[in-house]
């Protein structure tokens, strides 16, 4: 029973990582940059949703929608102002800029909302947990719905990328930026769209994460951001199903190592697993093999 409880906790935590990892992976795929500010977009999404429900009295779901819109705009703006001027100058300069953006978002949240943490009201408040196996197994609505949301998002995103014109354009740009441009694809638009989707999903991830783990602070997004980045690499950075698998595995490893090995070393174990996976498969579980030309 404990095993099952842990498995469900792991899947639920992993689903949050997976949704965040999507943002990392898509952005990496299309612009080959590590967007370290992504975790902080999650935090902003959380605050937006909090403000909407607590101060504006909006319904949780409506608040989520508003948060998504705001995060989408935020993501596009960040890309336009901070990243686009540096496009094509090598990944290091953009990486540092992304870290600057991350500091910026954290400190702006600190100034606006103060240092005191806020307790986030669960999106699924009022739903009863499911009891199974004679009360030994308790499944919270947050767990179930987070896992479901993850699956739905993954399916929709895969369909979007493979079926729609905009999605195909995104894939083309991530495959070969220059060639895509020659084919008449608007590269800027595609990249903006990627940031928009990634940041919108970040808001969803933020609300789901905070529904389960309710403490909201300006630094809330930092560690999940790093973990999700790890998950993206785990699954093979640039690959959408990879992000999902990586996220889920990471969540399960984290919860299991905390339950069965050590609560103190669980992060170390997670990162050690990542290193082992990369030793066996240097480009992650589903990553493409990069062929090098002379």
Partner 1 sequence: MAERILKNIRIGGLKNAVKGNDYRKEATISYAILIGGYILLQVLSAAGIVGHNLQGQFVPICVYVSLAVSLNLVVGISGELSLGHAGFMAVGAFSGILMSRVLLQSMTFEPLILIISMLFGAFMASIAGFIIGIPILGLRGDYLAIVTLAFGEIIRNFMNVLYFGFVDGKLKFAFNHTIEGIEDTDRIITGAIGATGTKTMASFTWGLLLCLFTVFIVLNLKNSKQGRAIMSIRDNRIAGESIGLDVRKYKLMAFVVSAALAGMAGCLFGLNYSTLVPVKFNFNTSVLILVFVVLGGVGNIWGGIIAATLLTILPETFRQFADYRMLTYAIVLILVMICTYNPAIKSRITALWNKVKPKKKDNGPGGKPRKKKAGKEAA
Partner 2 sequence: MKKTWTKVVVVALSCMMAFVMAACGGGGSSDSGDNTLKLGCTGPLTGPAAIYGNAVKNGGQIAVDEINAANPDGVQVAWQVEDDEADGEKAVNAYNKLMDDGMQVFVGSVTSGACVAVAEKTNADRVFELTPSASQAAVTEGKDNVFQLCFRDPDQGTISADYIMENFPDAKVGVIYNNASDYSAGIFDGFKKEMDAKGREIVAVEAFSDDANTDFQAQLNSMKNAGADFVFLPNYYTPVSNILVQADKMGYAPTFFGCDGVDGILTLEGFDTSLAEGVYLLTPFTASAEDEKTQNFVNAYKEAYGEEPNQFAADAYDCVYAVYNAFNAAGVDTSASAADICEALVAQFAGGFSYEGLTASNAMKWQATGEVDKMPAVYIIEGGKYVEK
Binding site for partner 2 (CB under 8 A): 2, 5-6, 9, 13, 50, 54, 107, 110, 114-121, 129, 135, 138, 140, 142, 209, 212-219, 223-224, 254-255, 258-259, 263-264, 266-267
Residue 73 is a binding residue for partner 1 (CB under 8 A): no
Hey, which residues between 202 and 261 contact partner 1 (CB under 8 A)? Answer: 226, 229-230, 233, 237
Decide whether 2 or 96 has the Cβ nearer to partner 2: 2
Decide whether 73 or 260 has the Cβ nearer to partner 2: 260
Residue 32 is a binding residue for partner 1 (CB under 8 A): yes
The single residue listed with the structure tokens 């990162």 is 271
What is the widest separation between alpha-carbon atoms in the chain? 64
CB of 138 to partner 2, least distance (A): 6
The site partner of 6 among partner 2, partner 1, none (C-beta below 5 to 8 Å per kind) is partner 2
Exactly one of 62, 152, 156, 268 binds partner 1 (CB under 8 A); which one? 268
- Tell whether the torsion through CA atoms of 171, 174, 178 and 179 is positive or negative: negative
- How many Å apart are CA 31 and CA 25, to the nearest integer? 10
State the DSSP string of 62-130: HHHHHHHHHHHHHHHHHIIIIIGGGTTS-HHHHHHHHHHHHHHHHHHHHHHH-SS-EEPPPTTTTPPPE
Whole-angstrom CA distances from 25 to 11, 13, 77, 107 are 19, 18, 19, 25
* Under 8 Å between Cβ of 49 and 66: yes
Decide whether 109 or 149 has the Cβ nearer to partner 1: 109
* Under 8 Å between Cβ of 286 and 245: yes
Write out the residues near partner 1 by the rule CB under 8 A.
28, 32, 34, 36, 82, 85-86, 88-93, 95-97, 99-101, 103-104, 107-108, 110-111, 226, 229-230, 233, 237, 262, 264-265, 267-268, 271-272, 274-275, 278-279, 282-284, 290, 292-294
């Amino acid at each position: 029973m404990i095993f099952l409880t842990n498995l469900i906790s792991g899947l639920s935590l992993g689903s949050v990582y997976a949704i965040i990892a999507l943002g990392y992976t898509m952005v990496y795929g299309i612009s080959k940059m590590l967007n370290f500010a992504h975790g902080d977009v999650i935090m902003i999404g959380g605050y937006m949703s909090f403000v909407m429900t607590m101060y504006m009295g909006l319904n949780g779901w409506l608040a989520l929608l508003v948060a998504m819109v705001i995060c989408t705009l935020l993501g596009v703006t960040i890309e336009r102002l901070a990243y686009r001027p540096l496009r094509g100058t090598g990944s290091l300069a953009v990486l540092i800029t992304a870290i600057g953006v991350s500091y910026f978002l954290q400190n702006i949240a600190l100034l606006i909302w103060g240092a005191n943490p806020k307790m986030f009201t669960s999106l699924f408040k009022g739903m009863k947990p499911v009891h199974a196996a004679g009360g030994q197994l308790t499944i919270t609505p947050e767990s179930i719905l987070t896992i479901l949301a993850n699956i739905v998002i993954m399916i929709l995103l895969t369909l979007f990328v493979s079926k729609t014109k905009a999605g195909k354009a995104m894939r083309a740009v991530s495959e070969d930026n220059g060639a895509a441009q020659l084919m008449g694809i608007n590269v800027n638009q595609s990249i903006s769209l990627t940031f928009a989707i990634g940041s919108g999903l970040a808001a969803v991830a933020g609300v789901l994460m905070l529904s389960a783990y309710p403490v909201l602070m300006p630094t809330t997004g930092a560690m999940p951001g790093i973990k999700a980045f790890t998950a993206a690499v785990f699954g093979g950075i640039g690959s959408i199903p990879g992000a999902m698998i990586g996220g889920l595995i990471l969540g399960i490893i984290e919860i299991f190592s905390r339950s069965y090995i050590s609560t103190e070393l669980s992060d170390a174990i997670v990162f050690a697993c990542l290193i082992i996976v990369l030793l066996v498969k240097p480009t992650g579980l589903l990553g493409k093999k990069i062929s090098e030309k002379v």
